[in-house]
Amino acid sequence: MSDDLARALRLFDDYVDLPAPERERRLAALAASDPPLHAALRALLDAESEDAGVLDRSPAQIVAERQPPPANAGADADRDDRDRDEDEDEDDDSADLRVGALLGPWRIDRILGRGGMGTVYEAHRDDGQYQQRVALKCIRSGLESPELAAAFREERNLLARLDHPGIAGVVDGGIDEQGRPWFALRRVEGEPIDQWCDRRALGVGARVDLLLQACEALAYAHAQGVLHRDIKPSNLLVTAQGRVQLLDFGISTRFGGGEDARAHLAISPDYAAPEARQHGTQGPATDLYMLGVLSYRLLCGQWPTRLHSLRELVPLAAAGAPEPMDRLLEDADDAVARRRGLDDVAALQRALAGDLAAVALKAVASKPQDRYPSVAEFARDLRAWRSHRPVGARRG
């Protein structure tokens, strides 16, 4: 048992019976002061809240629960999910006192989404000067703390440094009547990159083109000294014009930034690099790793390792080393290929094998020093593959 897990077990009884708002306030403070302990304790609390614990389910059940829904899920099920989400949003809107209120010149219209520590609203300019809609981000009600306020200000300051067409940047910011910071972002209408690709049955080449757009935005952020730290499909939206937009720098930091600015640390385990999950290490190589995992998901629909989604339950060594994309498709269904505009898995394996598989594999190498030295170098190899030139990942 790890030291972090042992410490979390000692705290578990103190936290599990707390009222939800008080528990979240304490967890927010713990995330700022001791991220590894926060992650271990959060995992225990989340597991306790489930109807059946991990030991009551087979590994196959666990994996199945963590996989995305099949693309051929019935339209009626999709419609039911959308209707349920809309009903929940309406309930949330009516209960949220911010909806309908003014923050600066912005009138809040509705809730767009909630994270662990923040709420994002849709708002419109309501001072008669000009018309504009924004995504306005505030600290979640009931979770206010000095540490979280400092993290919000840090996020706002980082975003204000970024001026790139592929990054939703800051439009405005301020302090509300209670002294809590808020900021408004350019509103992006789009669809998560994986859903965009699957709904249109985009081919491998078109998916690589979208990855290149994501690389350009992330490489720009890195050039400004800013890490994202949460690259995943829901943070990469594709607009109606086919432009990728990088969102949500909520747990971003400067290179070498201290842990005190990370009050809302919430990395996505399935996309996080081994060193980030084990030791909390962050750097350009961890952002690159997440981009590599995203490449696997977009191009072959698989995770880089056979037991990728069970890494929380088994040692990293037992989870296996990353494998080439074409090899991971050996037992895949033909539906995976059809979502990429191909007839069968064999055709998809041929499209991915060789250079492209080597490029993606290098991006998700287990050791940071074995990956590309930068996102820009990763993009350079993707462009080389796209133009039928040799790639650096297979020199010689």
Cα–Cα distance measured from residue 298 to residue 14, given in angstroms and rounded to the nearest whole number: 42
230 is catalytic: yes
Cα–Cα distance measured from residue 124 to residue 140, given in angstroms and rounded to the nearest whole number: 20
Cα–Cα distance measured from residue 78 to residue 379, given in angstroms and rounded to the nearest whole number: 35
Q: Where are the alpha helices (DSSP H) in the chain?
A: 3-16, 20-33, 35-49, 59-66, 75-95, 146-160, 193-199, 204-223, 274-279, 284-299, 316-319, 325-328, 334-338, 345-352, 355-363, 375-386
**DSSP code per residue over 235-265:** GEEE-TTS-EEE---TT-EETT--GGG-TT-
Which residues are CB-neighbours of 103 under 8 A, at least 6 positions away?
123, 136, 138, 174, 176, 182
Could you give the 3-state DSSP secondary structure of residue 297? helix
Residue carrying the six token digits 């000294």: 225
Which residues are CB-neighbours of 199 under 8 A, at least 6 positions away?
191
From 4, 96, 194, 230, active-site residue: 230
Cα–Cα distance measured from residue 294 to residue 298, given in angstroms and rounded to the nearest whole number: 6
Catalytically active residues are: 230
